[in-house]
Amino acid sequence: MKEYKYMKTERKGNVGIVTFNRPEALNALNEQVETEVTDALMEFDADDSIGCMILAGGEKAFCAGADLKWIASQDFESAYRTDLAAYMDKVAELRKPVIAAVRGYAFGGGTEISLMCDVIIADTTAKFGLTEVTLGVIPGGGGPARLAAAVGKAKAMYYVLTGKPFSAEEAERIGMITKVVEDGKLMDEALKVATTIANNPRLAVLAGKESVNQQAETPLISALKVARRLFHGLFSTSDQKEGMTAFAEKRKPNYQKY
């Protein structure tokens, strides 16, 4: 494995573990973090000795979403030209299973990357949320489409339009995550499940993941593209500038009245 600035990688038998390592920013996403987490998982995906991967975070946060110092400066032209937030789509395209082990905050992009994984295990400290609407944008990493596919239109609409966070228990109740475990038992449980998967016949595991995703992901392709373009376009609005500036300045935003 190559060296990463913001990721730790390790092996436990035939399980590859990728851990966010930007604690000073609650593992917030910027361009380098997005690239590194995707590349680290892709490395394990290409490694024949690995049968399953775990994506984990830190004590306080799995991933607290996008780093506003990076994303608030975007405009429509730069977002569209660089296809902002598209690189992490590769996480959902990995052939081997990925388990998201979620502790602490998993807001915005943190919820989205967990939804790209195949199994989500969270402990009782976990907090999810697609909070982007409060900043004048929408989730750009496929969150609305994947959440709707997981929990249905009514629940997804509520969380996308209110931006309200929700607990691990609520996430399990609505069917977004696989299971909740007690604080302190997260990685043990994630490794147990990952090892079980990795020890199963490799081709059957790959085929099983592909067959589930054929139903779960394929209908989302057009929705993901539409949502991505809407996400890009919102960086041309005054509400986006005001929302992210107010968040950085720790004040209530003054949105345009239409």
Residues recognised as catalytic: 66, 109, 112, 132
Burial class (CB in 10 A: 0-12, 13-18, 19+), 256: exposed
Q: 22: how many CB neighbours lie within 10 A of its CB? A: 22
**CA gap 161, 159 in Å, rounded:** 6
Q: Count CA atoms closer than 13 A to 202's CA, side-chain side.
A: 12
Structure token digits, residue 103: 């502790």
In terms of Cα–Cα distance, which of 111, 12, 96 is closest to 57? 111
Instruction: Write the DSSP string, 79-106.
Output: HHHHTTT-TTHHHHT-SS-EEEEE-SEE
- Closest of 164, 34, 138 to residue 90, by C-alpha: 34
Which among 105, 86, 99 is positioned nearest to 23, based on CA atoms?
105
Tokens of 255: 């949105």
3-class DSSP assignment, residue 1: coil
Strand order in the sheet with 119-123: 7-12, 15-20, 52-56, 98-102, 119-123, 179-181
